[in-house]
Amino acid sequence: MHRIHSRALALALVVLVATVVAACGGSSGAAIQKPGAAKAVGMLPNRVVIDVRTPTEYAAGHIAGAQNIDVEAADFGSRISTLDKKAAYLVYCHSGRRSGIAADQMAKAGFTDIVDGGAMADLVAAGAPTQ
Tell me, what's the pLDDT at 3? 55
Give the DSSP H/E element, type plus range, for residue 89. Answer: strand 89-93
Tell me, what's the pLDDT at 29? 57
Tell if the pTM clears 0.75, that is, is over it: yes
Q: So where are the chain's domains?
A: 29-125
In sequence order, the 6+-apart residues with CB closer than 8 A to the CB of 41 are: 123, 126, 127, 128
Q: Which of 71, 80, 91, 93 is catalytic?
A: 93
Tell me, what's the pLDDT at 31? 83
Alpha helix (H) ranges present in the chain? 2-25, 37-43, 55-59, 76-80, 97-108, 120-125
| 24 annotated active-site | no
3-state secondary structure of 92: strand
Q: CATH assignment of 29-125?
A: 3.40.250.10
Below-50 pLDDT ranges, the chain: 5-28
Write the Ramachandran bin of 2: left for phi over 0, alpha for psi from -120 to 50, otherwise beta.
Answer: alpha
Distance between the two ends of the chain, CA-based, in angstroms? Answer: 72
Tell me, what's the pLDDT at 61? 97
